[in-house]
Amino acid sequence: MLHIYCPYCEETREEEEFRPKGEAHIARPADPESTSDEEWGNYLFFRKNPRGLHHEQWLHAAGCRKFFNATRDTVTYEIFETYKVGEQPKFTDAATTAQTTDTEVAK
Ligand SMILES: [Zn+2]
């Protein structure tokens, strides 16, 4: 079972209180009238399915009922961070690569 930190409640709670809601940071096209069908289709239906670091939306359904984002490794299920909507993640692919490089240099 995952234990997830809600950035609004400021508490770590059990996974059963939360619902995953898919990929985070999907921006709605600014001008839908001039967006092509392909771009609109990509916005509505196509999502990343990476192996590794993934930014996801979660809902604290049995708590504050607010949406927040989490950075999770899809292989190990480890959650690196949770953060409020509108904030930027500290863990990104670039940061992870830098950490890996630092580790390799230290060996
Ligand atoms: Zn909450």
Structural domains in the chain, CATH included, are 3-26+39-106 (3.30.2270.10)
- The b/e string for 66-105 (b: 16+ C-beta within 10 A; e otherwise) is eebbbbbbeeeeebeebbeeeeebebeeeeeeeeeeeeee
pTM (two decimals): 0.81
**Measured on CA atoms in the order 82, 87, 93, 105, is the torsion positive or negative?**
negative
Percent of the chain with pLDDT over 70: 88
84 Cα–ligand 1 center, Å: 10
23 Cα–ligand 1 center, Å: 19
9 Cα–ligand 1 center, Å: 4
pLDDT for residue 94: 72
Tens of pLDDT, residue by residue over 27-75, are 999 999 999 999 999 999 999 999 999 999 999 999 999 999 999 999 9
Amino acid at site 32? P
**Measured on CA atoms in the order 2, 84, 46, 78, is the torsion positive or negative?**
negative
Which pLDDT band, with edges at 50, 70 and 90, does 93 fall under? Answer: confident
Q: Retrieve residue 61's tokens.
A: 């359904």
